[in-house]
């Protein structure tokens, strides 16, 4: 028996998608990589949403048997909307994962986490044999932190301790991310808080240093990862 009103299959992308035409072209390009029988990891964000839409079209037209491991509620709901079968990391390892990014530097280091799913996205990326990052030209920067702060997901009870440790790592600004649509801070899908942190310099070992702080779940830094950047003009 199916639910009479199922928001998960009715929901569309809630915001206007900036650079939609370019992102749709990138999405189609990436969806062409999918092969019969694969398990694919899906991150989150507007480009991921459009890629799932393009992937679903291939699944329908070519009768492909493909399953997806989503990194967020957002991607889970998109898969349900488009009719893409789901699985989990408990059951399968991704053949490859695709995700977006908020910033990409010349060495292909990434800044991610504006959508709040940084821990699950990083877990998927670490679990995958291959990783593709889909971005438009607006995401390329000369140095990480140019447009956005570094997100740090943390256990709520460790807030005061983690904040003090982050200052000691050279932070110039630390903000508890406020929620939209509710009072108080953002609560992640794992029940945690997010600090948005500005640093004057992002050293090569900063990701490791942040992760070493007791109470930190994960940061939005992805430095030195083996991945491929997919962009329309690169």
Give the pLDDT mean for 109-133: 95
Domain shared by 32 and 86, yes or no: yes
Q: Over the stretch 125-181, which tens digit does the pLDDT of each residue have?
A: 999 999 999 888 889 999 999 999 999 999 999 999 999 999 999 999 999 999 988
Q: How far apart are CA 170 and CA 200, in angstroms?
A: 8
* Range(s) of the domain holding residue 164: 150-220
**Active site (catalytic) residues:** 121
Instruction: Specify the number of domains making up the chain.
Output: 2
159 and 206 together in one domain: yes
Report how far Cα 136 is from the mean position of its chain's Cα atoms. 15
117 and 168 both lie in a single domain: no
CATH of the domain at 200: 3.30.70.260
In a domain, 1, yes or no: no
Q: Are residues 14 and 53 in the same domain?
A: yes
Q: Is 44 contained in some domain?
A: yes
What pLDDT score does 3 carry? Answer: 67
Number of Cβ within a 10 Å radius of residue 227: 21
Please report whether residue 100 resides in a domain.
Answer: yes
What pLDDT, on a 0 to 100 scale, did the predictor assign at position 162?
98
> Could you tell me the CATH number of the domain that includes residue 31?
3.40.50.1360
Give the max Cα distance, the chain: 56
What pLDDT, on a 0 to 100 scale, did the predictor assign at position 29? 86
Q: How confident is the model at residue 14 (pLDDT cuts 50, 70, 90)?
A: low
Q: How many CB atoms lie within 10 A of CB 200?
A: 9
Q: pLDDT (tens digit, 9 = 90+) per residue, 208-221? A: 999 999 999 999 99
- Would residue 87 count as lying in a domain? yes
What's the CA dihedral at 93, 111, 135, 29 to 10 degrees?
-10
Higher pLDDT, residue 40 or 22: 40
Residue 234, pLDDT above cutoff 80 = no
Same domain (yes/no): 12, 127: yes
193 Cβ contact list (under 8 Å, min separation 6)? 153, 154, 155, 156, 159, 176, 177, 185, 186, 187
Whether 123 and 170 share a structural domain: no
> Averaged over 31-39, what is the pLDDT?
96
pTM of the model: 0.90
């Amino acid at each position: 028996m199916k639910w009479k009103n199922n928001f998960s299959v009715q929901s569309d992308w809630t915001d206007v998608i900036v650079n939609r035409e370019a992102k749709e072209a990138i999405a189609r390009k990436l969806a062409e990589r999918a092969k019969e029988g694969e398990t694919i990891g899906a991150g989150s964000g507007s480009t991921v949403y459009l890629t799932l839409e393009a992937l679903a079209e291939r699944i329908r037209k070519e009768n492909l048997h493909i399953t997806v491991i989503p990194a967020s509620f957002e991607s889970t709901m998109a898969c349900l909307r488009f009719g893409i079968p789901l699985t989990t990391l408990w059951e399968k390892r991704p053949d490859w994962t695709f995700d977006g990014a908020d910033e990409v530097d010349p060495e292909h280091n990434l800044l991610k986490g504006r959508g709040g799913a940084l821990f699950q996205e990083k877990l998927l990326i670490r679990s995958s044999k291959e990783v593709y990052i889909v971005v438009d030209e607006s995401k390329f920067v000369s140095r990480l932190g140019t447009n956005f702060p570094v997100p740090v997901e943390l256990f709520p009870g460790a807030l005061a301790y983690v904040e003090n440790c982050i200052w000691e790592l050279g932070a110039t600004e630390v903000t508890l991310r406020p929620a939209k649509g509710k009072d108080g801070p953002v609560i992640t899908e794992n029940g945690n808080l997010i600090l948005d942190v500005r640093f004057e310099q992002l050293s090569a070992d900063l990701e490791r240093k942040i992760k070493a702080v007791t109470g930190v779940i994960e940061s939005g830094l992805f430095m030195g990862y083996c991945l491929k950047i997919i962009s329309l003009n690169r």
